[in-house]
Structure 1
């Protein structure tokens, strides 16, 4: 029956099959299916932990069949990088097939020997470096980058600066989404290592995990000006930056200032595990003001990584206040900690008139009078929102200690059926008492108001 189906129907059926092995089995049913469906099998490739042995055969398959290379649109590589991997399985290396490619990439005989040793030794970064430029239509890539990935870094630098062989055959011309993770938990992924990705003209969305600016020093100049255009800087087409479990004490200025059309900046901080320093929101405020983001930024998120900051000290410092956001004329969505917003100036003066949604986190009851002060300032904002922020439609307050652990030692989703749209019993009553006036004015103004708890959301939604 399937053998008489039109080709477009068979392709639609194949696209609905999620598991790559199942798609491959379908393509193997007949010669007709094989020639028609095999490119769709390679449309999205995922190699995860434990798939070490599949990497070198994949590169050989791609090198032998340019049609399959052109079919790959999405690539995820989260294999376990290990110098001992070659002892776990036999490495596939066909010199007749691969040597011409390696020679094309090499700038000297010494480098050719380095490539050959790395590939035969199954150093995974060399196989990834060999694979990526062979995929001309690649639109998204998500990969783990090992520490000391010399050949991968070299390939990326040459590909993004138009050096041989990419001067005559550019790479990554279709790439839109890039996500990189540093598996090494000590060094992190430095800004200089990810900066070459910002040179790729087609890339619009960048996600980095464990990105770091290194350790701060007394000589750091917090008020350094933005690098002047053309002074060895990068101008990027990236519009969305998402930095997770990262540490940017200097405010990631090089990344932010490289993107003149930045629309979304999301940063989730960790204090330990990679080089860096304490969370410094003021540095991000300075970086954004020093860039072109004042006219383009639509979404700003500065917070701790999910699961972090539950027991963070609430001592305020001069670095807590992110600065006034009133100059950001396109800014619609803001997610900030209460420590980063409350200042000597009232909220009504520091928030942009373009605001549509505001989420304020770390609004803990243990902060004493800060929660009542915040709710009062927000109440004033809502009362005057038609003149100050006419587009505002949603307001969220999130705390780390709103969940009533004493009376609800166990938590189930049955308790959260109306969460966060309506009050729920497992939130401490005091939270709703303090925010009752704010809830009332939001209801009168037609603005959605939610009380949230970080522990609940981390436990049920973020993991």
Structure 2
């Protein structure tokens, strides 16, 4: 029988195909510890391997190039390498996971004892005898191949700890000596009782547990052959991830330390990347010795080390005290605010390092506004922040950006009386100063009343007065983000209503002065270049900050002082320095012309005041909650097939920017608030038109359904009537193969119309678009034609909703049953498994 088409492909191509069958993984965190997650990492590879012998050998090579195996099944992996020795040199990375779940072990066998099949023991003995090491160590190693039987009996008694790891010790050692090109060893999911030899290398300590009384001696806790195996592999390793579950028990953490001879990690002469838990530093010999304070980092770490990743599993940062400031700064860059506070509390030496990172960019945690059950404790936190800045002017000087929330406090906050005099002095100085521009605050009597009202309001439940003081204290503020919550918002209900959950944002309410208030009077607003406001209504003085260049607005914002249909003439041309505007917009309000919210800066995108803007980015969401006028309930408003949208409404909103706009980005985040697929509404929006009048536009980013649906669309406009001739770059998101029609039309019009067009970017997404991953391999003639015409085409990939890796840098792949699957590869398979042959025969592959 002739081989199916796919089996006629060369091995090189089959290897590349098989490599793509490795499933994505995600890390799992439970009680701040690393665990294995889903066990289907090699599932598809396993299915392919069962098809026939040739595919089995291909898959075996892929699986053994970067194996991930449970500790309790190391013997199975050793058996595969002994049977296929030609694959051992191709392995450069090995990850050993804990494998202590029921699904990872043999049925009815909690510990996963070795499976000694016929001939396997003899091959292990031959390998051990070839090693260069002490003969007694070899003898112990060979003896331990059967020692698991005694340990199995011991596990039923009191000595369960020794029985737990010693059963796999000889096979772990065999793996280390069988892999001559091993460069990457990841052991993060294990604990130190699993690998006592590694603990010796890190600590230079030699504890042991004596059966029965659990006493500690200076003798090694393991047989010497495991240390010899580690010393064999150590000079080859470039990346080492030590066990992150550092055993916190008396027989390890508080055991004997041989401090006179410090040789930590000395055998790892090529090590470039090291991941260790903070407990290792706490237990380092000499780490508490003042004499060694400056010397131990260079003594204990190899000179080749480039990346040190310290995993902190608790709030206790004391072990980091001896690290140099350069390393502490790198650590602080990757810590969250809570951990930075813990770092600052550790000791006086660390406090300046942590404070610098903590206060350069101040973030008072804000809620995920659509998460159920969030309590408004974050609103209270601006008060202690202001107190800190008041008493620490050195910290106030280094603050460059602030993200805060204001609103009604969940509980009464009474400032200490000893600070009230300072607050009064700051407020009086601001209100009574007789400098240029102070007349906008009113006469002396009005300012005196404002000063007294401001001071007394510090005891009210609203935190707005505290925001005003904060802006008076920060003289070097570069970026400001504020959320104004109303007094009636209920964070226990879902959803947060966009009609009634936010408050007005009026500068005159904070400082007085009315609509003509001069924002230059406030020190904290003079240097602000980036502004992000989340409120129900915003006064125009916010947009007249002297240094403001970038602005981010939210859908429910309206402009205070605006009329029903247009802005007053006196408010136009008031924001000449704003060059970048980003706005969150609701599709229903923006694309169907709905006017129920009045004239909003982004609800209807009133851009008249921002006529100098050169860059506009719109983030469109198709899901908004409104407060029903008749029922009083929260209604969901979105575009549907019966209530579609039209890009013509968007073009009308952009009309004031025709003379200046150079960049337009229309973004549809794939998932709005993580709850629904936001891009599904694209099918209900009519395509873009009449943008050809924007003769300064050089760059546009837009989803394909809004630019080009298909050649057979009901309404098709010439591309010259849609896009301006000034375009230099186009980015199309969510593209499909039908984009070739648009590119063909662009190319045909290049000479007469799109003379400046230099590049086209196609941004594909794994979660949206039928042809993700297909455009790369498309062989249509249009791609070569574009290249010959001088137009560069980029295809980029958005990974979609993929969880980020741990910030600790753990790279565990969470495989689980890999050893059992590898074990099945050397079993004979039937060449004609029912159902497979018709499938492969139906695959049309041109050889």
**Which TM class, normalised by the smaller chain length?**
0.5 to 0.7
Unaligned segments of structure 2, at least 5 residues: 1-292, 296-323, 367-376, 432-445, 487-501, 594-598, 627-636, 640-644, 672-676, 710-714, 805-847
* Aligned-partner Cα distance in 1 for 2:379–2:557: 27
Aligned to 2:757: 391
Task: Say yes or no: does 1:67 pair with 2:394.
Answer: yes
Tell me the CA shift for residue 244 of structure 1.
2.1
Quick check: 1:178 aligned with 2:546? no
Distance 2:544 2:564 in 1: 26
Q: Does 1:99 align with 2:463?
A: no
Match of 1:186 in 2: none
Question: Are 2:701 and 1:334 equivalent residues in the alignment?
Answer: yes
Q: Post-superposition shift, 1:234?
A: 2.3
Match status 1:346 vs 2:671: no
In structure 1, C-alpha distance between the alignment counterparts of 2:464 and 2:347, rounded to whole Å: 36
The equivalences for 1:92-241 within 5 A come to 94-104=419-429, 107=446, 111-112=450-451, 114-116=453-455, 118-147=457-486, 149=503, 153-155=507-509, 163=517, 170-182=523-535, 189-190=536-537, 193=538, 195-212=540-557, 230=570, 234-241=574-581
Match of 2:664 among 268, 277, 300: 300
Question: CA 1:75–1:168 in structure 2 vs 1: closer, same or farther (change >3 Å)?
Answer: closer
- What is the DSSP-based 3-state SS (H/G/I as helix, E as strand, rest coil) of the residue aligned with 2:469? helix
Counterpart position of 2:727: 355
Q: Distance in 2 between matches of 1:36 and 1:262?
A: 39
**Closer, same or farther in 2 for the Cα pair 1:118/1:158, shift >3 Å?**
closer
Match of 2:242 in 1: none
Alignment match, 1:312? 681
Find the aligned partners of 2:449 and 2:512 in 1 and give their Cα distance: 17
Aligned partners of 1:239 and 1:11: how far apart in 2? 37
**Is the 8 Å Cα contact of residues 178 and 205 (structure 1) preserved in structure 2?**
yes
Equivalent residue in structure 2 for 1:46, among 332, 340, 363: 363
Within the candidate set 776, 792, 795, 1:422 is matched to 776
Deviations 1:334-358 (A, max 9, x none): 3255345676541145423342332
TM superposition shift of 1:162: 7.0
Q: Classify 1:210/1:150 alpha carbon distance in 2 versus 1 (closer, same or farther; 3 Å).
A: closer
In structure 1, distance between residues paired with 2:725 and 2:360: 44
Q: Deviations over 1:226-283 (max 9, x none)?
A: 975x566522311111112445447858753333432210112234425698655323
Relative contact order, higher structure (CA 8 A, sep 6+): 2
TM-score (norm 1): 0.68
State how 1:244-323 maps to structure 2 within 5 Å.
Answer: 244-246=584-586, 247-248=589-590, 249=593, 252=602, 256-273=607-624, 279=645, 281-291=647-657, 293-294=658-659, 296-307=660-671, 309-312=678-681, 314=683, 321-323=688-690
For residues 457 and 255 of structure 1, do their structure 2 counterparts lie closer, same or farther at Cα, with a shift above 3 Å needed?
Answer: farther
State the shift of 1:212 in Å. Answer: 4.5
Identify if the C-alpha distance between structure 1 residues 302 and 117 changes in structure 2 by more than 3 Å, giving closer, same or farther.
same
Please tell me whether the aligned partners of residues 666 and 702 of structure 2 are also in contact (alpha carbons under 8 angstroms).
yes
> For 1:200-232, what per-residue CA distance to the aligned partner results, in whole angstroms no more than 9, with x for missing partners?
121111112334459xxxx986xx7x975x566
**Structure 1 residues 273-282 or 67-76, which shifts more?**
273-282
Going from structure 1 to structure 2, the CA distance change for 1:12 and 1:155 (only over 3 Å counts) comes to farther
Partner of 1:376: 741
Q: Could you state the TM-score of these two structures normalised by the residue count of structure 2?
A: 0.40
Q: How many Å apart are 1:127 and its aligned residue? A: 2.0
1:23/1:41 contact within 8 Å kept: yes
Distance 1:10 1:159 in 2: 47
- The CA distance in 2 between the partners of 1:158 and 1:110, in whole Å, is 10
Cα deviation for residue 450 of structure 1 reads: 3.8
Counterpart contact for 2:484–2:534, Cα < 8 Å: yes
Q: Is the 8 A contact 1:209 1:245 kept in 2?
A: yes
Instruction: Please tell me whether the aligned partners of residues 303 and 337 of structure 1 are also in contact (alpha carbons under 8 angstroms).
Output: no
Does the 8 Å contact 1:175/1:202 carry over to 2?
yes
Q: State the alpha-carbon separation in 1 of the partners of residues 685 and 349 from structure 2.
A: 68
Residue in structure 2 matched with residue 84 of structure 1 by the alignment: 410
SS in 1 for 2:542: helix
Could you tell me how far apart the structure 2 residues matched to 1:262 and 1:401 are?
A: 31
1:107-152 CA distance string (max 9 Å, x none): 4566556544543234233322321232110011222221364686
Deviation at 1:159, TM superposition (A): 8.5
CA–CA distance in structure 1, aligned partners of residues 693 and 799 of structure 2: 30
Change (3 A) 1:198 1:289: same
Deviates more, 1:382-391 or 1:155-164: 155-164
**Which position in structure 1 is the counterpart of 2:845?**
none
Is the 1:245–1:269 contact (alpha carbons within 8 Å) kept by the matching residues of 2? yes
- What corresponds to 2:224 in structure 1? none
Question: Who wins on radius of gyration, i.e. which is larger?
Answer: 2
SS of 1:258 mapped into structure 2: helix
| Aligned residues: CA RMSD | 4.6
In 2, Cα distance between the equivalents of 1:288 and 1:245?
Answer: 13
CA distance in 2 between counterparts of 1:333 and 1:72 reads 35
Contact 2:520-2:545 at 8 Å conserved across structures: no
The offset of 1:178, in angstroms, is: 1.4
C-alpha separation between the residues in 2 aligned to 1:95 and 1:77?
Answer: 22
Task: State the shift of 1:77 in Å.
Answer: 1.9
The yes-or-no answer on 1:14 pairing with 2:329 is yes
2:681 aligned counterpart, secondary structure: coil
**Alignment coverage as a number of residue pairs:** 400
C-alpha spacing 1:356/1:101, structure 2 compared with 1 (3 Å): same
Q: 1:158 and 1:338, CA in 2 relative to 1: closer, same or farther beyond 3 A?
A: farther
The corresponding residue for 2:583 is 243
Secondary structure at the residue paired with 2:458?
helix
The 2-side partners of 1:177 and 1:159 are apart by 24
